[in-house]
Structure 1
């Protein structure tokens, strides 16, 4: 039997990881494994247009099923299909990263969000659309209330996204599990994320406490929220957002980084040749930009991916982008964290290898490191095929810290 890090759904590592991530959402109803595998079957490793079209077409097909069920007043079936369609459109949005043009980005994102909103309207849950005050604008969000009658205040889990995740991913990674355990949950688009980036052109910022503090203020002002039992969860690059905020915002009762990220920039700098890093370190930005531009001419795929990944940082030029990304580190502030912090640590982490352990070493009195292994089927970034196991471990830990 092939080991999980040897078995591939696709010979392209990016395609393979997206397939793993999407079918892992079947656990929460946001995917159906068979329709996913059928949709991507036979797509070549470099067929980026075919890859995008497969996910877009799958989303369109499942959306049509959802519309038909809704028209026939089959509410449960319609809600299920709208959620799956939203998930497939979200994968299509990420697939735009490798296309020569971003013309498909905004229309596809809007299909994703429209399907999500149809699910919100139809699913048998109490969900409120909210606008969270943030500087001179608001952050769009959704407040989920745990089902069933409840006497008194409830714990709340604030769920933070990563660099390019969608709301469907947050539903699968944390919200559905929180609701089943009696937690309310709050999700939102922060600066540089989803609607804030695609529709408002608001970029990332490294000082994420400036985002999570107003989100927490909003949450604490909601009725029936137990102010002593508000927790925080962050997935993927939010493994940086969460500890960065915790270094300055100490009102959370507990937090989870899935996984831990100490220095975001390593996923960028590790691909730079030594001579290019030397130019950057010496401040020779013009030479750096010239050499990067020359290199991009020989790899259209790399140029497309760079454009997509650099966009959330709101920068112009290659050196400018790298200098922005280098600010995203918690090395100098992690020692200020006092909030109990669970850090997931998957074997074969491919984006920030070793950084969960580094974050734990920087926060010895506050953190708990939890390993996930290939033998459990729980390897790779954010354990895509082991979300049930991840949910069990993180909520068991959270329950023990938030229990009255």
Structure 2
């Protein structure tokens, strides 16, 4: 994988996520280049570089908007939102993290105000409070099937939109990016941690979708990115209204995985605060104990919907062996495991080294399992 910070997987992963979501390598080089020889623990310099990068885009966007170039302004505001969000990933909870996240939301709101992003804001009532999200709808005369996209441990709905864009809409599928327990607004603004029984928020979302007239909630797929692959599989196993499932990184036993990583000494500094934060516990050891509930070992046989698992051969977050175990255990008659190799490109976690082909593959697969637009050809991919 391309490592902007050679030998520093944690910081490099933030760079690659920003690139996945439309960031500019030129921007990243100008602003982060001076940090290549700085210690990874210099969080003040890290936060300042990402903030400076984002503020530069915001200034350029404001100038474009004043000149009437709204599409150009919207793109720059969206990029600024990505930079703010990517920069706060390594920052522990506190004023700096909160300010960066608020700036990300503001920049995204500015992009929406330009009037060119095809998004509809929605708010879903759930046992965890309101779940905020955005619908990305295709240009269609009738309600279309829906794919709910779940981020992992540190992706927000804004980052998800910047990553998937209109990929599903172009295939006649409405896409919902949404903040749920442990992600986005819920964890950052309301302190709502993740939960192992993710069928609960999924059920609430489907309940909401069934009240709407602009989607076909008889056909709802779930797509989970990274740790979200757990959320998707768990939802499919226990929510019968899910029509198809995609795990973009195949999970097996998250508790055992994190325990092994910690015991082997791969628990970098962010893990010390991140795991307790996301799980709603006080210490790493308490978090590791609670994470035992996040296992799919006995759950995968309950997944019987059409299933696609996509994984990277060299994934350093979730071993490819976990994806293979998940695939073998899944109860689906229609299931496929796609492992990307170094030769294919996309061998890293969530194909961060080459995500485009994977995203198109997922969208093609889903469009062949969900009803197509009238008159539209169904992709041959199977």
Question: Does 1:363 pair with 2:358?
Answer: no
Tell me the CA shift for residue 303 of structure 1: 4.9
SS at match of 2:125: strand
State the distance in 2 between where 1:62 and 1:82 align. 7
State the distance in 2 between where 1:65 and 1:132 align. 34
Q: 1:69 maps to what in 2?
A: 64
The verdict on how the C-alpha distance between 1:346 and 1:172 changes in structure 2, with shifts beyond 3 A counting, is farther
CA RMSD of aligned residues (A): 2.2
Cα deviations by residue, 1:146-166 (Å, 9 ceiling, x for unpaired): 2x3x23221222111111112
Tell me the CA shift for residue 250 of structure 1: 1.7
The verdict on how the C-alpha distance between 1:262 and 1:143 changes in structure 2, with shifts beyond 3 A counting, is same
Q: 1:108 maps to what in 2?
A: 100
TM-score w.r.t. length of structure 1: 0.85
Q: 1:199 maps to what in 2?
A: 189
Answer yes or no: is the 8 Å Cα contact 1:337–1:366 preserved in 2: no
State the distance in 2 between where 1:396 and 1:57 align. 38
Q: 2:284 maps to what in 1?
A: 318
Residue of 31, 34, 38 corresponding to 1:39 = 31
Cα deviations by residue, 1:251-290 (Å, 9 ceiling, x for unpaired): 122121101111112442113448xxxxxxxxxxxxxxxx
Tell me the CA shift for residue 319 of structure 1: 2.7
Answer yes or no: is the 8 Å Cα contact 1:153–1:226 preserved in 2: yes
Q: 2:47 maps to what in 1?
A: 52
Q: Which deviates more from structure 2 when the two are superposed, residues 61-70 or residues 79-88? A: 61-70
Tell me the CA shift for residue 24 of structure 1: 2.5
Cα deviations by residue, 1:325-383 (Å, 9 ceiling, x for unpaired): 11101111211111111100211111110211111011153421011121122111100
SS at match of 1:228: strand
Please identify the structure whose Cα radius of gyration is greater.
1
The verdict on how the C-alpha distance between 1:74 and 1:249 changes in structure 2, with shifts beyond 3 A counting, is same
Question: Does 1:373 pair with 2:341?
Answer: yes
Task: Flag structure 1 segments of 5+ consecutive residues without an equivalent.
Answer: 275-294
Tell me the CA shift for residue 123 of structure 1: 4.4
The verdict on how the C-alpha distance between 1:246 and 1:94 changes in structure 2, with shifts beyond 3 A counting, is same
TM-score w.r.t. length of structure 2: 0.90
Mapping 1:199-218, distance limit 5 Å:
199-218=189-208
Tell me the CA shift for residue 203 of structure 1: 1.0
Provide the aligned length of Structure 1 versus Structure 2: 366
Answer yes or no: is the 8 Å Cα contact 1:173–1:387 preserved in 2: no
Cα deviations by residue, 1:212-260 (Å, 9 ceiling, x for unpaired): 1111111122113223332211101111111111111121221211011
Tell me the CA shift for residue 302 of structure 1: 4.5
Q: 1:15 maps to what in 2?
A: 11
State the distance in 2 between where 1:370 and 1:360 align. 10
Task: Flag structure 2 segments of 5+ consecutive residues without an equivalent.
Answer: 373-382
